[in-house]
Chain A
Amino acid sequence: MKLKENIFTKPETAATRDGFGTGLVEAGERDVNVVALSADLTESTRVEAFKKKFPERFVEVGVAEQNLAALASGFAAYGKVPFMTSYASFNPGRNNEQIRTTISLNQANVKVCGMHAGVSVGPDGATHQALEDIALMRVQPNMTVINPCDAEEARKATLAAAAFVGPVYLRFGREKTAVMTTSETPFEIGKANVLWKSEAPAVAIFATGSLVYNALSAAKILEGKGIQASVVNIHTIKPLDREAIVREAHAAGAVVTVEEHQIAGGLGSAIAEVLAAECPVPIEFIGMHDEFGQSGTPDELIKHYKMDAESIVAAAEKVMQRKKI
Chain B
Amino acid sequence: MAPLTDVEVNELDQKAAAIRATIIEMLVAAGSGHTAGPLGMADIFAALYFRVLNHDPKNPDWAQRDRLILSNGHIVPVRYAAMAHAGYFPVEECLTLRKFGSRLQGHPERTRLPGLETTSGPLGSGLSQAAGMAYAARMNGEKNHIYCAMSDGEHDAGNIWEAVLWAGANKLSNLTGIIDRNNIQIDGYTESIMPLEPLREKYESFGWHVLEIDGHNVAQFVAACEEAKAIYEKPTLILAHTIPGKGIREIEGDYRWHGKPPTKEEAGVFLNELRTLQGKIASEHQ
Residues in chain A within 8 A of chain B (CB atoms): 35, 56-57, 59, 61-62, 64, 66-67, 69-80, 82, 97-98, 101-102, 105-107
Contacts and interface: CB of A to CB of B under 8 A. Distances in A.
B72 interface: no
A61 B118 contact: no
Interface string B124-143: 11101111111111011000
A77 B132 contact: yes
A66 B159 contact: yes
A105 to B, nearest CB: 5
A105 B159 contact: no
A101 B125 contact: yes
A69 B131 CA distance: 12
B158 interface: yes
Contact of A66 (B110, B121, B125, B131): B125
B119 A102 contact: yes
Chain A residues touching B, majority SS: helix
B117 interface: yes
A74 B162 contact: no
Contacts of B133: 74-75, 77-78
Given A73-B128, A105-B119, A107-B110, 4 more contacts: A73-B129, A74-B134, A74-B136, A101-B119
Given A62-B166, A106-B111, A74 B119 contact: no
A75 B118 CA distance: 12
Contact of B140 (A61, A76, A78, A105): A78
B130 A74 contact: yes
A74 B159 CA distance: 14
A79 B137 CA distance: 10
B129 A71 contact: yes
A86 to B, nearest CB: 13
A75 B111 contact: no
B174 to A, nearest CB: 12
A220 B126 CA distance: 53
Given A66-B159, A73-B118, A78 B136 contact: yes
Interface of B: 67, 109-111, 117-122, 124-126, 128-137, 139-140, 158-159, 162-163, 165-166
Contact of B120 (A61, A71, A101): A101
A71 B159 contact: no
Given A66-B159, A67-B162, A73-B129, A106 B118 contact: yes
Contact of A71 (B122, B128, B139): B128
A112 to B, nearest CB: 14
Contact of A102 (B129, B134, B139, B165): B129
Contacts of A59: 135
Contact of A101 (B122, B131, B135, B165): B122
A89 B220 CA distance: 46
A80 B142 CA distance: 14
A77 B117 contact: yes
A87 B68 CA distance: 32
Nearest to B69: A74
A79 B135 CA distance: 12
B163 A67 contact: yes
Nearest to B67: A77
23 contacts: A59-B135, A61-B166, A64-B165, A66-B159, A66-B162, A67-B162, A67-B163, A70-B128, A71-B129, A71-B135, A71-B166, A73-B129, A74-B135, A74-B136, A77-B136, A78-B140, A98-B128, A98-B159, A101-B121, A101-B125, A106-B109, A106-B119, A107-B110
B112 to A, nearest CB: 10
Given A70-B128, A101-B121, A101-B122, A64 B166 contact: yes
B159 A75 contact: no
A73 B122 contact: no
A75 B136 contact: yes
A51 to B, nearest CB: 15
Given A75-B136, A106-B111, A70 B122 contact: no
Contacts of B130: 74
Contacts of A97: 122
Nearest to B107: A101
Contacts of B136: 35, 74-75, 77-80
B176 to A, nearest CB: 15
Q: Which 8 A-B pairs have the closest CB atoms?
A: A74-B132, A70-B128, A78-B136, A67-B162, A71-B132, A64-B162, A74-B129, A106-B119
